[in-house]
Structure 1
Amino acid sequence: MTTNTQSHCLTRQHYKRLRWYFKAPAGNASLADNIDLHLAASGLIERVERFGGVVCFRITTPGTVELAAENQREIERRKPHHSLASRLARWLQEQGRATWENIEFIVETPAGRQAIRPDVFSLATTCNPARITPHVYEVKVSRRDFLADVAQPKKRAGYAIIAERVFYAAPAGMISPDECPDGCGLVLEDGDTFVVARKAKRQPVQLGPAQFMNLILKPGVVPDLV
């Protein structure tokens, strides 16, 4: 079984490979690389001989335990992100907007189909399709994550298909308004509320039947308007 020191030496590539072995029957050892070597030396995968003398790798019980432990660590790492997204969603609900967290859409782009998953998606609560004003909020809790996202124009292009306005949301003081990509707005958490530090440029969009069905099948939170 891996020790804490060994776990700290494993990279995302190691865990990605472990997940592959967990899902797949086995991997051909003749195609092994240094990641497989490291996993085998740590006891997380093992060499087995299959019918016909073919040697393969498969995940071990310690490998499964370590993979489960990493999944739990990932949940803990993402807690600040999910917590901020939930607080933002509640604030938007107080503004009279319906919200969805971490909902996936499939959109058609010039480059083909693209899966997008905004941290928070919101609509105005109205029956008039022309006034639903769909917004996307990309939540960031670290500058590293923000800067990595800024470098992905393809992702924002996908958001632009389903949102009239795209915002970044972050703790106050982490992002300067002028750092946001052109057209994007910025919402900052300041104490127990949120403030719009930079308005987003509006571009009219019209959600299609597929997007509306997605919202129906994966219900969000609609504020009490009474």
Structure 2
Amino acid sequence: MPENKSTGGAIATTTLEASFPAPLGRAHARRLREIYRSAGWPCQDVLEIELLAAGLLQRIAGPAGHETLRVTDTGVAYLAVTLVRNRAALSKHEALVEHVACEMVRAGRITWRGLGLRAQLPPAEEGGPARWCMARPDVFSIRNTSVQEYVDPIVHEIKVHRADLLGDLRRPEKRAAYLDLGGECWYVLGCDAKGRPIGTADEIPLECGVMVMEANRLTVARAAPRRSRQPLPVGVWMALAKAAPVTGLIDDEQGLLADAEQN
């Protein structure tokens, strides 16, 4: 019988494709980081299959017969490479926004970046009509609670350049919009090229809290005053429902997973 060249070619192509893992992207790196920080419970999805095939994950059989996942040395090296690449891709402002957002997630809060929220401003004159504007806080977060009065919204405004900070301080209406949205408003100040904070707490209006980024850690220079709790307007809830919050595993949840594995 004549040789079926098309079938033989298909088999050869399939064998060749099987010898190379699928190209890895951001979703793979994100999953790898999550597994590295967790107890390693498998999801058994496509991402996991591709990470296993690439040799970045290893299956470990437990004493009770269940399997967990461990990031291999190759996987750790891959995470280090992606971390360097991600840091290079982020601007100074974006990096600080990301840092603050992750801190809010670790604190158990539901967090958003770059939202456009409708806020109410005081009347321009006594007895005049209320004014409205679109506020765009760098980071907006609420407590993870089912009681509407306890959501305690917080706005974080990120500043990494001195000129930008001074220009922002000359805009009281912007702060009024943030205070209308959140129970607390914080200014987060970065550092200049010499490692010095771009501003001091004395320069920030008293109605706002101040954080300073020093040595890659956030420190509180002045706490934000607590305001009376107010429910979020329906318009804000609608905007939050349409936007995707910042994702990430919370350290407390990781501890629970680790305890479950030990038990």
The TM-score normalised by the length of structure 2 is 0.53
- 1:47 maps to none
User: Residue 115 of structure 1: SS of its match in structure 2?
Assistant: strand
- 2:132 maps to 113
- 1:140 maps to 159
- 1:187 maps to 211
Cα offset, 1:155, TM superposition? 0.6
User: Residue 108 of structure 1: SS of its match in structure 2?
Assistant: strand
User: Residue 169 of structure 1: SS of its match in structure 2?
Assistant: strand
Among 95, 108, 120, the alignment partner of 1:96 is 108
User: Residue 91 of structure 2: SS of its match in structure 1?
Assistant: helix
Counterpart-to-counterpart distance in 2, 1:192 and 1:82: 14
C-alpha RMSD of matched pairs (Å): 2.1
Please say if residues 96 and 223 of structure 1, whose CA atoms lie closer than 8 Å, have aligned partners that are also in contact.
no
Matched, 1:213 2:238: yes
Among 141, 145, 152, the alignment partner of 2:171 is 152
Counterpart-to-counterpart distance in 2, 1:174 and 1:110: 30
Among 221, 225, 243, the alignment partner of 1:197 is 221
Deviations 1:85-130 (A, max 9, x none): 0111111111111211110101233342201100111111111212
218 and 136 in structure 1: CA distance in 2 versus 1, 3 angstrom threshold: same
Q: Give 2:182's aligned amino acid.
A: A
The TM-score normalised by the length of structure 1 is 0.62
The structure 1 segments of at least 4 consecutive aligned residues displaced by more than 3 Å after TM superposition are 222-225
**Structure with greater proportional strand content:** 1
Cα offset, 1:177, TM superposition? 1.1
Please say if residues 113 and 246 of structure 2, whose CA atoms lie closer than 8 Å, have aligned partners that are also in contact.
no
Alignment of 1:42-121 (within 5 A): 79-111=91-123, 112-121=131-140
Please say if residues 185 and 200 of structure 1, whose CA atoms lie closer than 8 Å, have aligned partners that are also in contact.
yes
User: Residue 86 of structure 1: SS of its match in structure 2?
Assistant: helix
How many residues are treated as equivalent by the alignment?
151
Cα offset, 1:206, TM superposition? 2.1
Cα offset, 1:223, TM superposition? 5.2
Please say if residues 91 and 193 of structure 1, whose CA atoms lie closer than 8 Å, have aligned partners that are also in contact.
no
Deviations 1:13-47 (A, max 9, x none): xxxxxxxxxxxxxxxxxxxxxxxxxxxxxxxxxxx
- 1:175 maps to 199
Q: Give 2:151's aligned amino acid.
A: I
Counterpart-to-counterpart distance in 2, 1:195 and 1:223: 22
For structure 2, the 5+ residue unaligned runs are 1-87, 124-130, 192-196, 254-263
Counterpart-to-counterpart distance in 2, 1:198 and 1:82: 23
Please say if residues 123 and 132 of structure 1, whose CA atoms lie closer than 8 Å, have aligned partners that are also in contact.
yes
Deviations 1:150-197 (A, max 9, x none): 110001111111101100001252221111112110111222321211
Counterpart-to-counterpart distance in 1, 2:144 and 2:219: 21
For structure 1, the 5+ residue unaligned runs are 1-75
| Rg larger in structure | 2
